[in-house]
C-alpha cells in the first residue's frame, strides 16, 4: 500500500488523481487531502476516500467547514492554515505526495515533501521554476524521488534511455529534447483581435481541460516557457538542448531525438490521468481510465514553430531562462499577478505580456541560495507587478 497526500485535491489534477486512485484502492490509500477554500468538495472527497486529514489553507472557512464536517459525520481531522500543508506533506506516514497546488503557494509544502525524502509527483511546475537549483539539490541530498506529472515532462521521462546521464545528453546518445505544445486557443486568431480576448475565451483550451491559471498560461504560451525551465531542471538540460515544437493535435506529448536519427515520442489522448497513473505506479503500469488512441480516427498530425508576435510571453520565459534563476523567479511571480488581474477583468490579454516584460526588464539578477530568499524575491516582484497594474488603472 502506498500512502498519499494530495496537495490541491479539489483542482483539476487533484480530481484526476483521485479518479485514478479509486480504480486501485488495493494499492493506494489517502492520508491527507488539501485545498485552498473549497471545503464542500474537500469534505466529500475525504468521506469518499476515507482520508485521515484534510487541510484548508484559507483559515476564514474554518467555522463553516467544521459545521459541515459535523453534519456529514465525517471522521477526518481538519486543519487550517498554510503551515498544516507542510505538516501533511512531510508526515512520516506518507510515502507519496502529489504536488498539485497551483502557483507559488505550492512551493513550501512541495519543498517540505522533498526535504522529507518523499516520492514527489510534481505537477506544480511553478515551484521548480522559482527555485530550480535549490529544489533539485535538496531532492538529491534528501533522497527524494521526483516524478514529473506535467504531460510533456512525463513524456520525456518515458522516452529517455534507461541509463540516462543527468546533465549529459551526448553521453546518453541524445541530440535534442523536443518539447511539444498545442499553441492554445489562439493559434489561428488574427493578432488584431488579441486586445479583445476575454478570460472565458482564453480559458477554453481546444484539447485540455485544466485549471484557470494554466489555461491562461497555455493561451499566452507562458506555460510552454515555464515548462522549458522546468525541463532544464528536471533533466539537467542546457537551453540549447530543447526545441519547442507546435503540435496542435496534442497527440504527441513530447519527444527525444537520438544521435542516430531516431526520434522516440510518447503519444496518447490528452488526458492527465495517463501521466498521473504512470507516476503513481512507476516503474509498473496500471489502468488509468483513459481510452487507447484510435489510429483510424487520427487525421491531422502537424508541426510548426511558435512565432514571437503571437506568443511574447513564451519568449520572455526563454529570456529569463538565459538570464538565470532570480529572473525566472520574478517572471513567474509577475505572471501570477498579471494572470489574476486579467481573470479579474482589470487588464487586457495583451497587457499580461506587457506588464510581465516591465518586471523582467528592470530586474537585476541576484543570487538565491535559500527558499526564504526565493520567497522574498517572489514577494518583491509581486509588489512591483501589482503597482504597475494599479498605476495603469489610475
Choices 204-212, 283-291, 307-315, 357-365 (CB under 6 A): range interacting with ligand NAD: 204-212
Please state, in angstroms and rounded to a whole number, the distance separating the CA atoms of residues 43 and 54. 8
Shortest CA distance to 268 belongs to which of 298, 284, 241, 292? Answer: 292
Note the helical H segments in the chain.
12-21, 39-49, 62-72, 82-90, 107-115, 125-142, 151-159, 199-203, 212-220, 222-235, 273-281, 312-323, 325-343, 349-361, 371-393
**Contact pattern for ligand NAD over residues 255 through 274, marking x by CB under 6 A:** -----------------x--
* From 9-17, 156-164, 250-258, 300-308, span contacting ligand NAD (CB under 6 A): 9-17
Q: Does 150 bind Mg ion (CB under 5 A)?
A: yes
Determine the interface stretch with ligand NAD among 20-28, 35-43, 298-306, 335-343 (rule: CB under 6 A): 35-43
Grid look-up 527524494 returns 144
- Interacting residue with ligand NAD among 89, 98, 121, 126 (CB under 6 A): 126
| Cα(339)–Cα(231) distance, integer angstroms | 22
Q: Return the residue of 36, 180, 288, 329 that touches ligand NAD, per CB under 6 A.
A: 36
Binding of ligand NAD at residue 105 (CB under 6 A)?
yes
| Residue of minimal Cβ distance to ligand NAD | 11
Dihedral sign from CA coordinates of 380, 381, 384, 386: negative
CA-based torsion, 19, 20, 23, 29: positive or negative:
negative
Grid coordinates standing for 174?
Answer: 541524445
Ranges of H-type helices in 176-250: 199-203, 212-220, 222-235
Q: Does 120 bind ligand NAD (CB under 6 A)?
A: no
- By CB under 6 A, tell whether 314 contacts ligand NAD: no
Is residue 20 part of the contact set for ligand NAD (CB under 6 A)? no
Closest separation in Å from C-beta 58 to ligand NAD: 7
Binding mask 151-190 for Mg ion (x = CB under 5 A): xx--------------------------------------
- Residue 123 interacting with ligand NAD (CB under 6 A): yes
Site for ligand NAD, rule CB under 6 A: 8-14, 35-36, 38, 57, 100-102, 105, 123-126, 150, 208, 210-214, 272
Amino acid at each position: 500500500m502506498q500512502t498519499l497526500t494530495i496537495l490541491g485535491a479539489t483542482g483539476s489534477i487533484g480530481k484526476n488523481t483521485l479518479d485514478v486512485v479509486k480504480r486501485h484502492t488495493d494499492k493506494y490509500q489517502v492520508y491527507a487531502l488539501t485545498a485552498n477554500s473549497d471545503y464542500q468538495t474537500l469534505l466529500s472527497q475525504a468521506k469518499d476516500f476515507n482520508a485521515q486529514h484534510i487541510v484548508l489553507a484559507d483559515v476564514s472557512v474554518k467555522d463553516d467547514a467544521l459545521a459541515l464536517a459535523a453534519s456529514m459525520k465525517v471522521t477526518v481531522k481538519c486543519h487550517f492554515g498554510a503551515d498544516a500543508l507542510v505538516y501533511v506533506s512531510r508526515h512520516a506516514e506518507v510515502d507519496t505526495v502529489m504536488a498539485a497546488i497551483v502557483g507559488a503557494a505550492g512551493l513550501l509544502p512541495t519543498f517540505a515533501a522533498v526535504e522529507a525524502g518523499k516520492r514527489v509527483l510534481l505537477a506544480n511546475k511553478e515551484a521548480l521554476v522559482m527555485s530550480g537549483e535549490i529544489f533539485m539539490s535538496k531532492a538529491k541530498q534528501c533522497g527524494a524521488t521526483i516524478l514529473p506529472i506535467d504531460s510533456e515532462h512525463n513524456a520525456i521521462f518515458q522516452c529517455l534511455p534507461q541509463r540516462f546521464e543527468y546533465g549529459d545528453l551526448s553521453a546518453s546518445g541524445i541530440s535534442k529534447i523536443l518539447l511539444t505544445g498545442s499553441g492554445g486557443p489562439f493559434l489561428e486568431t488574427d493578432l488584431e483581435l488579441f486586445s479583445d480576448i476575454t478570460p472565458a475565451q482564453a480559458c477554453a483550451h481546444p484539447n485540455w481541460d485544466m485549471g484557470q491559471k494554466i489555461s491562461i498560461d497555455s493561451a499566452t504560451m507562458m506555460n510552454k516557457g515555464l515548462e522549458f525551465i522546468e525541463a532544464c531542471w528536471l533533466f539537467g538540460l542546457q537551453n540549447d538542448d530543447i526545441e519547442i515544437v507546435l503540435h496542435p493535435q496534442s497527440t504527441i506529448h513530447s519527444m527525444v531525438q537520438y544521435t542516430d536519427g531516431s526520434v522516440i515520442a510518447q503519444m496518447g489522448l490528452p488526458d492527465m490521468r495517463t501521466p498521473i497513473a504512470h507516476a503513481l505506479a512507476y516503474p509498473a503500469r496500471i489502468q488509468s481510465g483513459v481510452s487507447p488512441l484510435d489510429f483510424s480516427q487520427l487525421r491531422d498530425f502537424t508541426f510548426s514553430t511558435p512565432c514571437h508576435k503571437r506568443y511574447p510571453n513564451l519568449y520572455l520565459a526563454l529570456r529569463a531562462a538565459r538570464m538565470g534563476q532570480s529572473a525566472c523567479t520574478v517572471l513567474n511571480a509577475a505572471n501570477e499577478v498579471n494572470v489574476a488581474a486579467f481573470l479579474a477583468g482589470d487588464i487586457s490579454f495583451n497587457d499580461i505580456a506587457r506588464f510581465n516584460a516591465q518586471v523582467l526588464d528592470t530586474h537585476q539578477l541576484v543570487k538565491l541560495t535559500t527558499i526564504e530568499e526565493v520567497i522574498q524575491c517572489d514577494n518583491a516582484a509581486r509588489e512591483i507587478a501589482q503597482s504597475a497594474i494599479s498605476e495603469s488603472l489610475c
